[in-house]
């Protein structure tokens, strides 16, 4: 078991990691403009000088929060794509990778939604910087998409739309309960159970979508 220090933080968690965790919660709660670096430093159990030593600026800290969260998700997703085995199993694992990532870090969803409202410039910069650290060397996201398209028998553009649909279904799973409960008589009080059912539903729909895209491509090739 990790040893607790007097400030309530674990000895085996670095100050850098504590700052990142505290910043994630602060940015999720208050957005970039409303977040206070002093509040982040206090929550992490460090002073502002140490915060600036590790992350230099509020803007850089914000981008690092986004990059760290997406790096964890994209690493899992990439590993799912390159695994050996049936395509259907690998696609199911991709769905699980996205759903696990969002369930483990609900603050990320709040940050992303705030970014969309604000125009997304910082989100785009963070993702662009993350591409330089992609875990599979030359197998960049673009390369993996083209590779998957060839293996799935799809055009690259169809593969991109397939992925957008998959990611969108995962994302909306965490937002939809607010709308569903208001519009229809459907109980979503047990969020864990709802998300478990959502995984099954997404996998079924994604599998059907993949089959439809393959059939459509075969039909076009005969014309």
Burial (CB count within 10 angstroms: exposed 0-12, middle 13-18, buried 19+), residue 73: buried
Average pLDDT value for residue range 90-99: 94
Give residue 201's Cα distance to chain centre: 19
Write out pLDDT tens, residues 136-194: 555 677 777 888 888 888 888 888 999 999 999 999 999 999 888 888 888 889 999 99
Do residues 166 and 159 make contact, with C-beta atoms less than 8 angstroms apart?
no
Write out pLDDT tens, residues 25-53: 999 999 999 999 999 999 999 999 999 99
pLDDT exceeds cutoff 70 at 218: no
Determine, yes or no, domain membership for 147: yes
Q: Which residues of 111-147 are buried (b: 16+ CB within 10 A; e: fewer)?
A: bbebbeeeeeebbeebbeebeeebeeeeeebeebbee
Determine, yes or no, domain membership for 216: yes
Average pLDDT value for residue range 12-23: 92
Determine, yes or no, domain membership for 14: no
Query: What's the structural domain count of the chain?
Result: 1
Q: Give dist(CA 187, CA 98) in Å, integer.
A: 24
Average pLDDT value for residue range 77-105: 89
CATH number of the domain to which 143 belongs: 1.10.357
Determine, yes or no, domain membership for 18: no
By C-alpha distance, which of 205, 51, 191, 17 is closest to 109?
Answer: 191
Average pLDDT value for residue range 46-69: 95
Burial (CB count within 10 angstroms: exposed 0-12, middle 13-18, buried 19+), residue 12: exposed
Does this model's pTM top 0.75?
yes
Q: Give dist(CA 70, CA 135) in Å, integer.
A: 12
What is the average pLDDT score of the chain?
86
Determine, yes or no, domain membership for 128: no
Range of the domain at 155: 69-119+136-222
pLDDT exceeds cutoff 70 at 135: no
């Amino acid at each position: 078991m990790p040893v607790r220090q007097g400030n309530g933080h674990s000895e085996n968690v670095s100050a850098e990691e504590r700052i990142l965790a505290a910043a994630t919660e602060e940015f999720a709660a208050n957005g970039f403009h409303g977040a206070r670096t002093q509040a982040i430093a206090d929550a992490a159990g460090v002073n502002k000088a140490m915060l600036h030593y590790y992350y230099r600026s509020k803007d850089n800290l914000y981008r690092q929060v986004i990059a760290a969260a997406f790096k964890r998700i994209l690493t899992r997703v990439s590993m799912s794509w390159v695994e050996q085995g049936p395509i259907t199993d690998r696609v199911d694992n991709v769905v699980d990778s996205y759903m696990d990532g969002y369930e483990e870090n609900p603050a990320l969803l709040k940050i992303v939604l705030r970014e969309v409202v604000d125009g997304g410039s910082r989100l785009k910069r963070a993702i662009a910087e993350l591409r330089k650290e992609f875990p599979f060397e030359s197998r960049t996201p673009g390369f993996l998409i083209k590779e998957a398209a060839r293996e799935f028998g799809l055009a690259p553009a169809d593969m991109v739309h397939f992925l957008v649909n998959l990611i969108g279904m995962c994302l909306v799973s965490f937002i939809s309960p607010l709308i569903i409960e208001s519009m229809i008589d459907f109980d979503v009080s047990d969020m864990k159970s709802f998300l478990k059912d959502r995984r099954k539903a997404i996998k079924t729909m994604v599998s059907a979508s993949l089959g439809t895209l393959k059939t459509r491509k075969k039909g076009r090739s005969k014309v």
